[in-house]
Amino acid sequence: MTSSAGRTLHLNAFLMSTGHHEASWRLPESDPFANTDVAHYQRLAQIAERGHLDSIFFADSPVLWNDIGRRPSGAIEPTVLLTAIAAATSRIGLIATASTTFNDPYNLARRFASVDLVSGGRAGWNVVTTAGPDAARNFGLDDQPAHHTRYERAAEFLDVAQKLWDSWDDDAATGDKASGRWGDNDRVRAIDHVGTHFRVRGPLNLPRSPQGHPLIVQAGSSEDGKAFASRYAEAVFTAHQTLEDARTFYADLKARTGALGRDPEGVKILPGIVPVIGATEAEALRLEAELDELIRPEYAVAQLARTLRLRPQDLPLDRELPADLPAEDEIEGAKSRYTLIVELARRERLTVRQLIGRLGGGRGHRTFAGTPEQVADALDEWFVGGAADGFNIMPAVLPSGLEAFVDRVVPILVRRGLFRAEYTGSTLREHYGLPRPANRYAYDEQAQGVTA
């Protein structure tokens, strides 16, 4: 697949406290409490908006990750955080992560519709199923539900949410003061969903939101994850270390999407990249090395051991990974990330110390240190090479890495005709070039693919 005339990049800024590098909070310029500072995130969103990026995004899980010794811990609940950011911005899309395993569809569908409404049509939902026993133990379970069960529930959750978002016709309410009839009851209906995981009557207690449905984003790359993405996702965040892997994933997901009767253009694939930007390549490499030196190896080894289901003492710093590791299908949760890490270590014959450095930057995502031109080239190569519709930008240090990307890389992309110079739309869907979904229930929409 090659670049067609006028095809342009989509860019998402993945925001995380002081940056994606494990040790970024230890830099002199970093605020170690930025992770719970709403003003910090409002400023980051404004920087991304200045560069006309499509969206910002927050990861999330309903559990306290790791120990708090290691790095800034705790996060403002993402729909609350997005709402606060919506008030400080006007155009940029706002994507929050929420779990289908540990929420109820009625409440969550309403919350995303509320954010969509409050932001004027800028909400997106990164759908996750939340791996790991620790989150499950905050919700009355001893362990996570099985991988396949989580995805089965996720699919039904999405069905319920979409029905609820369609439970009001767009024109259900007329607000007719003269007659005293505010709306038309025939244009709001119960959804009467009865399934394996949920029974939900509806309708939603909120009119249809500006985008109809918030944008659906997904990031799982396991078999179940790809099946889910091809059915529901409109943007996919993914992690690849090599062009070849990214191209394979891209072609596979587009083919799966087409096979389900969806337009493959209706799902935008955005590999992650951790750009470390310097005025010269040497400066970029120096910044990267500085950051890696700030990693406390005992914390990083503990984290790596957990991911690989080993004990920390199985991972001496100056040796390669042990030869006998479990196969992906023995792993519950974050399957594809597991494989990616093991393959990276094997392919480049990295010691544990070297592997930690690579992961400290991007946790499995591609790290790229270079000049603005080199970073632009790296994006261009994957975009034109059939590996990406755009990128999930994961600055190693925030705000400085985002500023460098917006002020020094984006202008190059604009000059090359690869990225917008101004916003042309006002909703998140418009930024991604995706249509507003027709209402599945509306009985008077003309020729828009209405299903019933």
In angstroms, give the least distance from the CB of 334 to its own copies.
Answer: 18
CA distance 56 to 82: 9
In angstroms, give the least distance from the CB of 248 to its own copies.
Answer: 35
CA distance 180 to 343: 67
**From the list 50, 149, 171, 198, which residue makes contact with its own copies (rule: CB under 8 A)?**
198
User: Which residue type, as a one-letter code, is found at position 424?
Assistant: T
User: Are the beta carbons of 105 and 160 closer than 8 angstroms?
Assistant: yes
β-strand 235-238 against 55-58: which pairing, if any? unpaired
Q: How far are the Cα atoms of 35, 57, 386 from residue 24, in angstroms, in the given order?
A: 12, 19, 32
**From the list 294, 302, 310, 450, which residue makes contact with its own copies (rule: CB under 8 A)?**
294
In angstroms, give the least distance from the CB of 257 to its own copies.
Answer: 31
Please work out, in degrees rounded to the nearest 5, the angle formed at the alpha carbon of residue 327 by the alpha carbons of 325 and 333. 105
In angstroms, give the least distance from the CB of 132 to its own copies.
Answer: 12
- The 10 Å Cβ neighbour count of residue 343 is 13
Tell me the HSE value of 425 on the side-chain side, using a 13 A CA sphere.
19
Judged by CB under 8 A, the chain residues 10 through 69 that form the site for its own copies are 23, 25-28, 30, 32-33, 36, 38, 61-65, 67-69
Pick 177 or 349: Cβ nearer its own copies: 177
Tell me the HSE value of 59 on the side-chain side, using a 13 A CA sphere.
20
Pick 118 or 305: Cβ nearer its own copies: 118
Judged by CB under 8 A, the chain residues 117 through 136 that form the site for its own copies are 117-118, 134
CA distance 437 to 135: 33
In angstroms, give the least distance from the CB of 336 to its own copies.
Answer: 24
Pick 176 or 252: Cβ nearer its own copies: 176
Contact call for residue 287 and its own copies (CB under 8 A): no
In angstroms, give the least distance from the CB of 339 to its own copies.
Answer: 27
**From the list 183, 266, 312, 385, which residue makes contact with its own copies (rule: CB under 8 A)?**
183
Residues in the chain: 452
Contact call for residue 358 and its own copies (CB under 8 A): no
Judged by CB under 8 A, the chain residues 80 through 99 that form the site for its own copies are 80-81, 83-84, 86-88
In angstroms, give the least distance from the CB of 198 to its own copies.
Answer: 6
Of the candidates 89, 9, 76, 17, which has an alpha carbon nearest to the alpha carbon of residue 47?
A: 89
**From the list 19, 51, 207, 437, which residue makes contact with its own copies (rule: CB under 8 A)?**
207
Question: Facing residues of 272 across strands?
Answer: 392
Pick 282 or 289: Cβ nearer its own copies: 289
CA distance 256 to 266: 12
Judged by CB under 8 A, the chain residues 371 through 400 that form the site for its own copies are none
CA distance 360 to 434: 34
Contact call for residue 1 and its own copies (CB under 8 A): no
In angstroms, give the least distance from the CB of 182 to its own copies.
Answer: 6
Pick 75 or 128: Cβ nearer its own copies: 75
In angstroms, give the least distance from the CB of 113 to its own copies.
Answer: 8
Size of the site for its own copies (CB under 8 A): 76
Contact call for residue 206 and its own copies (CB under 8 A): yes
C-alpha torsion sign, points 21, 24, 30, 36 = positive
Pick 163 or 366: Cβ nearer its own copies: 163
The residue range among 70-78, 252-260, 301-309, 352-360 that interacts with its own copies, by the rule CB under 8 A, is: 70-78
**From the list 2, 4, 5, 185, which residue makes contact with its own copies (rule: CB under 8 A)?**
185
Residue 315 backbone zone (phi > 0: left; psi -120 to 50: alpha; other: beta)? beta
Helices marked H in 69-222 — which ranges? 78-86, 105-118, 133-136, 147-165
In angstroms, give the least distance from the CB of 426 to its own copies.
Answer: 16
CA distance 294 to 16: 18
Judged by CB under 8 A, the chain residues 236 through 275 that form the site for its own copies are none
**From the list 21, 71, 240, 420, which residue makes contact with its own copies (rule: CB under 8 A)?**
71
Judged by CB under 8 A, the chain residues 311 through 330 that form the site for its own copies are none
Contact call for residue 139 and its own copies (CB under 8 A): yes
Judged by CB under 8 A, the chain residues 148 through 177 that form the site for its own copies are 168, 172-173, 175-177
Of the candidates 135, 97, 360, 44, which has an alpha carbon nearest to the alpha carbon of residue 214?
A: 97
Question: Facing residues of 269 across strands?
Answer: 236
Per-residue burial over 434-447, b = 16 or more CB atoms within 10 Å of its CB, e = otherwise = bebbbbbbbeeeee
Pick 84 or 227: Cβ nearer its own copies: 84
Tell me the HSE value of 344 on the side-chain side, using a 13 A CA sphere.
24
In angstroms, give the least distance from the CB of 329 to its own copies.
Answer: 28
User: Are the beta carbons of 60 and 97 closer than 8 angstroms?
Assistant: yes
Contact call for residue 441 and its own copies (CB under 8 A): no
In angstroms, give the least distance from the CB of 298 to its own copies.
Answer: 10
